[in-house]
Structure 1
Amino acid sequence: MTGSGRLRQSKGKGQKLVISALLSNSGFHLTSVDIFKCDENHSMNSNHFVRWIDQTSSILRKQLGKDAKVLLVLDNVPWHNRLTEETMPPKRSCRKELISDWLMHRRVPLPTKATKAVLLQLAFANFPEKRYVVDEAAAASNVDILRLFFRSFDLNLGLRTVIPLVWAGLKSYVREHNTNFRLSDVRNLTQTWMASLDASTTTSYLDHAQNIENTFKKSDRFAEHIEEKIVDDDDEEENEMYSEEEEETEMDSEEEDENQIDSEEEEDENQIDSEEEEISE
């Protein structure tokens, strides 16, 4: 670099590196790390990821033994969630014949001369339970898949924080040591940094995520406590209102009884007066 000219802003074109890797308390699982070149038209897709999951699950099972419990945590990007052919539902854009074939393949009775809208309603009512290609590939090696909550950023915040921390460390290292700006150098620097990520650094990332999770748990407990207190206060107010209404009702009934007694006494007095008048006559 001569220092002359200007820096050109990248528009995201050209070749890139895509990385698939597993991260645990001890660092990256280096045996299964997958780094490959791509461009804007050919990048990560479901087929490539499924092959990687299949190979990685097999490696983990061989390394950990047949009795070990293995769980992989994934987020909800599209290439993680491709449905199997058996559970893939028809789309609204599908032709009527394809929807009919889908229903008949699942032995759903079809009404005669049904419209496409009716067939879609039948298909929606008979959706099978979702099964994912990635899960099937992992299950072949007795490996379980756990997905983060879909569209629940707050609930996933702890785990989602780990990934940006890791990639930020990687990018910082590559930015600092990249002098030739060749893709091969970027790959080598990436592999070097991933191999040097020790257990203490990884644990600090995971502890940070755990602290965030604990913060949310405390907030939930506080919210539940406040909610219970508010409910108790409402119950007390309702009980006070009921007791006041009962007291008013009792007072009204007592007044009615007194009025009735007074009226009876007046009737008795009037009757006595009338009897006295008759006697005097």
Structure 2
Amino acid sequence: MAALQISHGSVVNLKNELKQLEEEEQKVLAQQLLEQQQHNDDRNACSITIIIDNASWHREVTDDTKPPQCLWGKQMIVNWLDDHNILYVDDISKAELLQLAYENLPKKKYKVDEEAKIIELISYELAWANMKTCIRDRNTKFTSAEVNKVAQEWIDNLDETEAANYVNHVKQCVATFKKADMFAEKIEEELNDDDDEHEYSVYSADTDNDDDE
């Protein structure tokens, strides 16, 4: 039986190829692990729980998810159905319209939850954004260990002054939003006053014409 002849060079080449394949496999596994960790982070970020008391203003739903009221007139219920794209026939009673609305109520959304989504009003979101920027700029090895190392360094260097700046920025945003709301309310009141004056003028003119006749 003839012996299998394998040169030393072939063995070396084979070892190099196996080593290269092993390194490539390690890179693929590391990338998959990093993607899985990022996916878990994103999933956990979407499930933050805000613990608050049972005050009435904490349980107030958004305007678009408020249900219609029994004391509403028929036209108001019709408007609610139109706003929520719910089909109905014209020749039904108010009670039937109300029942149709209750059968198609949207999922409740609470105002406190919607406000929590506004990044400008959350100080720790500003800190989180800065930390991610730091990691992106300084992470050169693209490994989870390096990410943890850079993140921990950023946290250790976060001092009282920078933390206070985040809080003050939120306070400034709140003040700006309040000013905008007050301005919008003032404009709305002026527009309503103009409409009332116009309607009164038209009514007065019609009354004068009736008196002349």
| TM-score category (smaller protein) | 0.3 to 0.5
So what's the TM-score if we normalise by structure 2?
A: 0.46
Q: Which has the higher helix share?
A: 2
| Structure having greater relative contact order (Cα 8 Å, sep ≥ 6) | 1
Which structure has the larger Rg over C-alpha atoms? 1
Of Structure 1 and Structure 2, the greater strand share is in 1
TM-score when normalising by structure 1: 0.36
